């Protein structure tokens, strides 16, 4: 069980690798026989009510923490951040690949190193506007611009 997310994950003792997704070489019956399988309630994505999403975050001076991995002191206005994100949105179109590329380069979130991937989460783990938008999307669908205390985001629901 993940201490930070409160959801189960898979750990390969031989390779010392962990993953949110079940190993593809295991059958459903083999997965059910694993230690801790009682915590799995809905398949390999972490259980019922759990989704996976990626985002591209642009912070502004009124963000709850107006700094990031690429900028120590963010001074742009919320309107400027929204304009920047609209530019990224236009570049992305409906391309997951372009979204991941832009998130890697431009997102003010530490998830930039995972192409914006936040991993699986369930209700109550994210700020409410982000949660509502992410849970309202279909898999593969992009949100419009969403504003939270962290900044402005484009969200891609991935599972």
In the residue annotation, 112 being an active-site residue is answered as: no
Of 104, 122, 125, 127, catalytic: 127
In the residue annotation, 60 being an active-site residue is answered as: no
SS3 (DSSP) at 11? strand
Terminus-to-terminus CA distance in the chain, angstroms?
A: 20
CB 147 within 8 A of CB 127: no
In the residue annotation, 109 being an active-site residue is answered as: yes
Residue with tokens 């936040």: 118
Of 44, 54, 55, 60, catalytic: 55
CB 46 within 8 A of CB 32: no
Residue-wise burial string across 80-109, b where 16 or more C-beta atoms lie within 10 A, e elsewhere: ebbebbeebbeebeeeeeebbebbeebbbb
Of 44, 109, 111, 112, catalytic: 109
Please identify every residue annotated as catalytic. Answer: 55, 109, 127, 150, 153
């Amino acid at each position: 069980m993940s201490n930070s997310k409160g959801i189960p994950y898979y750990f390969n003792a031989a390779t010392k690798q962990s993953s949110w997704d079940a190993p593809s070489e295991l059958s459903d019956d083999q997965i059910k026989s694993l230690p801790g399988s009682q915590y799995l309630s809905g398949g390999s994505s972490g259980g019922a009510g759990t989704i996976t999403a990626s985002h591209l975050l642009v912070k502004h001076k009124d963000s709850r923490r107006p700094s990031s991995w690429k900028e120590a002191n963010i001074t742009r206005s919320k309107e400027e951040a929204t304009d920047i994100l609209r530019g990224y949105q236009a570049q992305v179109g409906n391309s997951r690949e372009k979204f991941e590329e832009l998130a890697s380069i431009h997102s003010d979130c530490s998830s930039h190193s995972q192409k914006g991937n936040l991993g699986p989460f369930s209700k109550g783990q994210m700020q409410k506007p982000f949660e509502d938008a992410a849970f309202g999307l279909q898999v593969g669908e992009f949100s419009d611009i969403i504003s939270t205390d962290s900044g402005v985001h484009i969200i891609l629901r991935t599972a």
